[in-house]
Amino acid sequence: MKENIVIIGGGIAGMEAAKQLLVLGYNPIIIEQQDHLGGHVSQWHKLFPDMTSSHELLDGLSNQIKDANVFLETKVNSINALGDSYNVILNNGVNIVAKAVLVASGFHLFDAAKKEEYGYGVYDRVITNADLEAWFNKRADARIPEHPKAVGFVHCVGSRDLKAGNSQCSKVCCTTAIKQAIEIKEIFPETEVYCFYMDLRLFGKKYEDFYINAQRDFGVHFIRGRVSEVGETIDNRVQVKAEDTLTGKPLKVTLDLLVLMSGMVCNPRTNELAEMIGLNIDDDGFLKSKDNVYTIMESNRPGIFYAGACTGTKTVPETVAEARAAVLSIHHYLTQA
């Protein structure tokens, strides 16, 4: 009989892990709380840096994991150590015993309404990065005007913000902002686009190219200053205030659309899971790996492994690489035991 491996979370991390576990001859069992696989990536339209279609990527992966057991709209009720195994009880009454459990429960998108000064949910013209991805997919959102004259992007919303309880940099949103700024310019070439940033963090392969493209080919304006407040004008537009720190002057601009780059924060449901089985939580709220250099896929408990954004902010290629690494760690753990 094939060995069971429980995967908690069917995002791209969980899916990639299932694919690799199948190749190695295991029986991966994915537990996903939503009604579909793919996690956050299923909400996005095109992925940087190659503008890969999210849906094609996920469809391809779904085809490759047809033989995996998948429980959708399912949650873990409890998880207990049982000898050298874990007993995982699901809310549908199913009971699984497995020697290895992979936690791939991902992140939460910061709730932009918490930053009241930005007016999300209050002003019609304020949306989030996730809302904009949804619009790229469906082209239906009453908040997005037909011919915007000016569009702004606010970086670091809920990230690098001690008051919001998140000191970490979300790492993907600078690149996402520039990617989305370019996409807006492609759709609305006449629109003026402004990115309000504190630092531009374009660390990955080809990310800096997006920045150069945005400047040279699309004329996106980069303003170094954190937006301090947003207000509505009488004609239903939004006025944004910041300090233009490079000239040292207060600055304001009126926009038809403001996009808040909500950050990646820890998933509170993961913490419930961690409590059930005694997994360590890091001071940023994400799961704490054994270390952050060499064994990021390993937890403080034998037989429990991590992959993807449940341990911190990650890009898709990082998540996928970690899923593969975690599978190898699981394989070594089971064959050497």
Partner 1 sequence: MMDFGFSLSKSSTINLDTVDTTLYKKLCDMEPDARICMSCGSCSASCTAASFSGMSLRKVILALQRDQDVRPMLSNCMLSGKCTMVCPRAINTRHLILTLYRIYDR
Ligand X SMILES: Cc1cc2nc3c(=O)[nH]c(=O)nc-3n(C[C@H](O)[C@H](O)[C@H](O)COP(=O)(O)OP(=O)(O)OC[C@H]3O[C@@H](n4cnc5c(N)ncnc54)[C@H](O)[C@@H]3O)c2cc1C
Binding-site ranges for partner 1 (CB under 8 A): 117, 156, 160-164, 198-199, 224-229, 241-245, 248, 250-251
Q: In angstroms, what CA-CA distances link 14 with 50, 115, 142?
A: 22, 31, 34
Query: Which residue, among 178, 169, 254, has the nearest Cα to 221 in the 3D structure?
Result: 178
In contact, 257 and 198? CB cutoff 8 Å? no
**DSSP H or E run through 255:** strand 249-255
Token couple for 30 = 């994915």
Residue 47 main-chain phi, psi, to 5 deg: -100, 135
Q: Is 265 in the site for ligand SF4 (CB under 6 A)?
A: no
Q: Is 170 in the site for ligand SF4 (CB under 6 A)?
A: yes
Q: Crossing angle of helices 54-64/12-23, nearest 10°?
A: 30
Cα–Cα dist 81/60, whole Å: 35
Cα–Cα dist 254/176, whole Å: 22
Cα–Cα dist 333/301, whole Å: 12
Alpha-carbon Rg for the chain in angstroms: 21
Which alpha helices (DSSP H) does 237-279 contain, by range?
Answer: 268-277
Q: Is 33 in the site for ligand X (CB under 6 A)?
A: yes
Query: Which residue, among 204, 153, 179, 163, has the nearest Cα to 313 in the 3D structure?
Result: 204
Compose the 288-307 pattern: x for residues touching ligand X by CB under 6 A, - for all others. Answer: --------------------
- 199 or 272, CB closer to partner 1? 199
In the complex, what is the shortest distance from the CB of residue 170 to ligand SF4, in angstroms, rounded to a whole number?
4
**Among ligand SF4, ligand X, partner 1, none, what does residue 171 contact (CB within 5–8 Å per kind)?**
ligand SF4
Among 158, 315, 325, 329, binds ligand X (CB under 6 A): 315
Which alpha helices (DSSP H) does the chain contain, by range?
Answer: 12-23, 54-64, 129-138, 173-187, 207-216, 268-277, 316-336
10 Å Cβ neighbour count for 305? Answer: 28
Q: Is 169 in the site for ligand SF4 (CB under 6 A)?
A: yes
- 19 or 160, CB closer to ligand SF4? 160
Q: Is 155 in the site for ligand SF4 (CB under 6 A)?
A: yes
Q: Is 226 in the site for ligand X (CB under 6 A)?
A: no
- 18 or 264, CB closer to ligand SF4? 264
In contact, 149 and 192? CB cutoff 8 Å? yes
- 189 or 248, CB closer to ligand SF4? 248
In the complex, what is the shortest distance from the CB of residue 164 to ligand X, in angstroms, rounded to a whole number?
15
Q: Is 106 in the site for ligand X (CB under 6 A)?
A: yes
- 169 or 274, CB closer to ligand SF4? 169
| Region from 40-48, 93-101, 183-191, 248-256 binding ligand X, contact rule CB under 6 A | 40-48
- 60 or 165, CB closer to partner 1? 165
Binding site for ligand X (CB under 6 A): 8-14, 31-34, 39-41, 44, 47-48, 75-76, 104-107, 109, 129-130, 172, 176, 264, 267, 269-270, 273, 308-309, 314-317, 319
Chain positions contacting ligand SF4, by CB under 6 A = 155-156, 159-160, 169-171, 173-174, 199, 201, 261, 263
